[in-house]
Amino acid sequence: MKVVVFGSGSFGTAMATAVARNGHEVVILSRSEEITCGINEQHKNMKYLTEFELLPNISSTCSTADALHGCDFIIHSVPVQASLAYLSERRDAIPPHVPIVSTSKGLHSELLLTMNEIIPQALGREHPCAFLSGPSFAKEIMRDMPTAVVAASSSEELAIQVQTLFKTERMRVYTSRDVIGVEVGGALKNVFAIACGIAEGCGLGYNSAAALVTRGLSEMRKLALCMGAQEQTLSGLSGCAHMLTCSSRALRYMLIFLLKAWVT
């Protein structure tokens, strides 16, 4: 299949690589001529993840029309804050039947919308969408290290298609129909991760970090449930696991906390 990746940053490049490993033709749509030339001529992203050589079935273009011509899937890896304008500019070029897989995590800072709400608003229509989330550092994906993520969609069929698109021997993809839970978990984990970093920088110790992580998970669960999420989703890859692996320190604190609780 032909897969188009919106966004030529670190995560867009990693997503392109993950899909290209399954033999698909992947085109990265970039705004940078420098990045496009580097990918096409040197098989490298000359601005992000520069140490990695890209697969030969990955190419790039700055032309929206060229990228989308004959495509079967779109992977959206543009930051949430820029996504509304980005998609609105391309609404007429995006075929209404081509699914969009969003890997963008967060809430729009002014509109307080998730990507599940931003996409139809930007395109002016309902559109087939799936949402990929979970602990997935770009460099580890580039190194083909074992990774597990979840693909959520209101359409079970589309979630399975996305699972097939990404899964390899080293990338495990689970499916879910709980779009709200997956999106809320992916958005809020960043807030709690920053808080853990602040606690570390202030030298507040393991107790404060463990409290931040555990109470953060509780707040995440309460908010997600109020928004209509399923409780089990927040215990999975898009919630608990996503938050704990957003920084190695947070994971370390949580493990220490759990070990102390088990010993005592």
Higher pLDDT, 196 or 20: 20
Query: What CATH number should be reported for the domain whose range is 2-177?
Result: 3.40.50.720
Given this model, what pLDDT does residue 185 score? 86
This prediction's pTM: 0.88
CB-side neighbour CA atoms (13 Å) of 29: 24
246 pLDDT above the threshold of 80 = no
Given this model, what pLDDT does residue 264 score? 47
**Tokens 């820029």 sit on residue:** 82
257 pLDDT above the threshold of 70 = no
30 pLDDT above the threshold of 90 = yes
Which of these is catalytic: 105, 139, 167, 189?
189
Distances (CA, A) of 79 to 9, 15, 109, 115, 140: 10, 14, 12, 10, 20
Q: Within 10 Å of residue 262's Cβ, how many Cβ atoms?
A: 7
176 pLDDT above the threshold of 70 = yes
Q: Average pLDDT in the 175-204 region?
A: 84
The tokens for 5 are 């990746």
189 is a catalytic site residue:
yes
Q: What is the pLDDT of residues 107-147, one digit of tens each?
A: 898 888 999 999 999 999 999 999 999 888 899 999 999 99
Higher pLDDT, 20 or 209: 20
Q: Where are the domains of the chain?
A: 2-177, 180-263
Given this model, what pLDDT does residue 114 score? 93
Fold of 180-263: N-(1-d-carboxylethyl)-l-norvaline Dehydrogenase; domain 2 (1.10.1040)
Lowest mean pLDDT among 50-64, 87-101, 151-165, 228-242: 228-242
Distances (CA, A) of 19 to 74, 114, 164: 11, 24, 10
Residue 20's pLDDT band, with cuts at 50, 70 and 90, is very high
User: 171 Cβ partners below 8 Å, 6+ apart?
Assistant: 18, 141, 146, 147, 148, 149
29 pLDDT above the threshold of 80 = yes
Q: Within 10 Å of residue 261's Cβ, how many Cβ atoms?
A: 10
Amino acid type, 100:
I
Given this model, what pLDDT does residue 255 score? 54
Amino acid type, 260:
K
Residue 262's pLDDT band, with cuts at 50, 70 and 90, is low
Beta strands (DSSP E) in the chain are 2-6, 25-29, 58-61, 73-76, 100-102, 129-133, 147-152, 171-176
**Tokens 């602040």 sit on residue:** 198
